[in-house]
Chains A and B, each alone.
Chain A
Amino acid sequence: MAEIEIDTRGETCPVPLVECRKALRKAAPGDEVTVLGTHPASKKEIPMACKALGLEVIDVEGKDDEWKIKIRR
């Protein structure tokens, strides 16, 4: 199982969502993908996307404008 981290800090819509999806596509089942970001809407929308993709969000931490989301592929 690999741990992958992607940094979208400073990026705005739709880049955090898109980079998250790109990383999830490259990850293998069971891998943990951590997304760092500062775009407030993406903090809500990345978990929405994970739900639609049937993936588990392990953890969301931080403020709306500085957050970290951990997802299991």
Chain B
Amino acid sequence: MTDMAETADKAVIIVHSGDMDKLYSALIVGNGALAMGMDVSMYFTFWGLQRLKKGGLEKGPLSKMHMLGLGKWMIKKRMKAANVASLEKLMNDYKELGGKILACEMTMEIMGVKADELRTEWIDEYGAVGTYVNEARDAKITLFI
């Protein structure tokens, strides 16, 4: 299928945090921008990159009121009641709509993350700061989450 917009605007998001709620923010903005016709790249680094490990997507704590997991359990219950999509669905939608995932190589080195520990089927490119800057230089939206 061809895209409708002739020249798409671009959004680039740095996903630095691995907190569950911040990952929701990043993926919701990413999906929303794709749905509204923009190109989107998400650059996963530090604790954000940890969430790209196999089985790691839903592992993050809440950024506030985590309370040893009690707060997260409560929020997840309320999200389920409100029928909020899982991070896994949002990630699959993001990929289906053509969203790009960039993985930070320096994080992999300093945190000892091997490529085969990651969901490599999601990752389009491995790179460092130059990759982010190159993506972001002509972007209309850039966020650090």
Q: Which residues of A contact B (CB under 8 A)?
A: 10-15, 17-18, 20-22, 24-26, 48-49, 52-55, 73
Contact = CB atoms under 8 A, between A and B. Distances in A.
B97 A13 contact: no
A57 to B, nearest CB: 14
B1 interface: yes
B93 interface: yes
Interface stretch (B30-38, B57-65, B107-115, B128-136): B30-38
A12 B82 contact: yes
B3 to A, nearest CB: 8
B4 A55 contact: yes
Contacts of A18: 31-32, 34-35, 93, 97
28 contacts: A11-B83, A11-B85, A12-B84, A14-B28, A14-B31, A14-B35, A14-B85, A14-B90, A15-B85, A17-B35, A17-B36, A18-B31, A18-B35, A18-B93, A20-B35, A21-B34, A21-B35, A22-B93, A24-B4, A25-B3, A26-B1, A49-B37, A52-B5, A53-B4, A53-B5, A54-B5, A55-B4, A73-B4
Interface residues of B, number: 19
B127 to A, nearest CB: 27
A13 B35 CA distance: 12
Nearest to A19: B93
Interface string B15-59: 000000000000010011011110000000000000000000000
A26 B28 CA distance: 21
B96 interface: yes
Contact of A48 (B4, B36, B96): B36
A44 B97 CA distance: 21
Contact of A21 (B82, B90, B97): B97
A17 B125 CA distance: 27
A17 B4 CA distance: 16
Contact of A22 (B3, B84, B85, B97): B97
Nearest to B89: A15
Nearest to A16: B35
